[in-house]
Amino acid sequence: MTHTKGPWTYDRTTNRIGTTAGTICIIDEPADQSGRGIVHDQQTANARLIHKAPEMYEVLSMYQMLNTECHRGVTHCGECASCKGAALLAQIEGETDEDHS
Ligand SMILES: [Zn+2]
């Protein structure tokens, strides 16, 4: 199974991220009921990040097609952008459940 094809939309009024076909997710209301301050700004930043996930995935995939070799000249250092990008793509595509967070 693959993700819902982008682009995804973001409605700031409802904090809804989705497509014309349906909702991907709704960002919870901020704990600060006034809707202002750090919490609200952080929720908005989180929504922007999730909203752009399909485009980030596309760019990461393109980067990986261009940079298939580890820059350190070893098979897999696990630390450079190429290695980390490959590991992230594998996680996104469900090839591994390993989470390095
Ligand atoms: Zn590497």
22 and 38 within one domain:
yes
Residue 89 confidence (pLDDT) above 60: yes
61 and 37 within one domain:
no
Q: How far apart are CA 77 and CA 32, in angstroms?
A: 43
| pLDDT > 70 fraction of the chain, expressed in percent and rounded | 85
85 and 67 within one domain:
yes
Ligand 1: centre distance to CA 80 (Å): 4
Ligand 1: centre distance to CA 21 (Å): 39
Global confidence as pTM: 0.76
The tally of domains found in the chain comes to: 2
Contacts by residues 83-92 (CB-CB < 8 Å, ≥ 24 positions apart): 85/60, 88/60, 89/60, 89/61, 89/64, 92/3, 92/57
Ligand 1: centre distance to CA 81 (Å): 7
Residue span of the structural domain in which 73 resides: 57-101
User: Which among 8, 2, 88 has a CA at the least distance from the CA of 55?
Assistant: 8
32 and 67 within one domain:
no
* Per-residue confidence (pLDDT) for residue 44, from 0 to 100: 84
Cβ contact 46:27 at 8 Å: yes
